Amino acid sequence: MKKTLSLIIVGFLCLSTLSVLAPQIKANSGTIIFEDDFETYAVGSFPSAGGWELVWNGKGTAYQVMTDTVSYSPTKSLRLWGQSGWSANVQRKFTSSAEIIGFEAYIRTESNTGSGWKVAGICFWKLDSPVPWGKRFADVGFGPDGQLYTRPVKGSSSYFPLGLSYEADRWYKVGVIIDRTVETYDVWIDDVLAAEDVTIWDTYEIDALMMESGHSSIKVYFDDIRVFEVPTELPATIDIDPDTLNLKNKGEWITAYIELPEGYNVNDINVATILLNETIPVDMEAPVTVGDYDSDSVPDLMVKFDRASIIEWFGAVDYAEDTGRSCLVALRLTGEVSGTTFEGSDTFNVLRK
């Protein structure tokens, strides 16, 4: 095909050169491994029915329970209460071989100062490890000095500050994404990126999520827990035809040709899932055929989009920075093949009215 772009190009740019924008993964994206809002458990009980295990009991087993005194949503949260010299830790085990995994949780502490080295924390974990007290991964800690910290791997690295403070009696959304392919992780606090591309290792050892009230003798609350996988998207080769769109001309369709990498069959593409710029669907009344449009011996799927719908989408575009009649437009195409998401993009010129 004439153009092959494996990176995401979002929207359109009316510029003399085209900028390619690399994708960012956000916390809360992906396929859920498990999630828990703690609403199904009785107040005063421990949520063992949901797969949670009490590893160390802090101030005492009776204090590690469900409560309805505070919650993020809607009415209950899990309270953990550690004490000096003995933390309260819970875990929930899971398995995942995905290349990218993450967690998010809402955390609230009754104080942001105390003794010990941590008020609260959350991380991926492997308890059954040669590392004393378990091996922690991508640990996010609420320090006794009112600051937030992270540590890549317990046993061979130290905490470092995120440069953010926290307040008592306020919910914080903590998110982590680990990319096992490049051995890095990112941290989000309240959906704002707080640390990026932190080096990490041994992440295929992870078999649990761990939450903790540390040695500061402070009540800590956890709510809306989510552990997820982020599927890697399959790069597709896309060719949009025509190469130039004149908004003055009449026409019925814009055509897209889709090629997939070796090992995937374009016949398996679910045409109903295909979208341009996550907005415009395939015209299901138009022809859909498999062929070899560019004669490169790689099969391609031809689909068509309603031309008027694309022009209408352009109508929402702000052309204020355009100094001429033409505009270079990037269209991102996504869809599913055999349950796997694919994406690709192509550019073409638009002649303005």
- Domains of the chain, residue spans: 31-229, 234-351
Q: What is the dihedral of CA 14, 19, 25, 26, to 10 degrees?
A: -40
* CATH class belonging to 31-229: mainly beta
Q: pLDDT tens across 208-258, in order?
A: 999 999 999 999 999 999 999 987 778 899 999 988 877 777 778 999 999
* CATH class belonging to 234-351: mainly beta
Answer for the pair 208, 51: CB distance below 8 angstroms, yes or no.
Answer: no
Evaluate if residue 329 carries a pLDDT over 80.
no
Say what the pLDDT of residue 200 is: 97
Distance CA 183, CA 163 (A): 23
Distance CA 145, CA 5 (A): 48
Q: pLDDT tens across 157-203, in order?
A: 789 999 999 999 999 999 999 999 999 999 999 999 999 999 999 99
- Work out the average pLDDT over 278-293: 94
Rounded alpha-carbon distances, angstroms, from residue 101 to 162, 173, 174, 184 = 21, 17, 14, 11
Distance CA 125, CA 92 (A): 9
Evaluate if residue 322 carries a pLDDT over 60.
no
Say what the pLDDT of residue 350 is: 78
Distance CA 278, CA 192 (A): 24
Which token pair is 236? 């597709």
Say what the pLDDT of residue 325 is: 64
Say what the pLDDT of residue 331 is: 85
Phi first, then psi: what are they for 166, rounded to 5°?
Answer: -135, 160
Distance CA 160, CA 154 (A): 12
pLDDT band at 48 (very low <50, low <70, confident <90, very high): very high
> Where does the chain have alpha helices with state H?
307-315
pLDDT band at 315 (very low <50, low <70, confident <90, very high): low
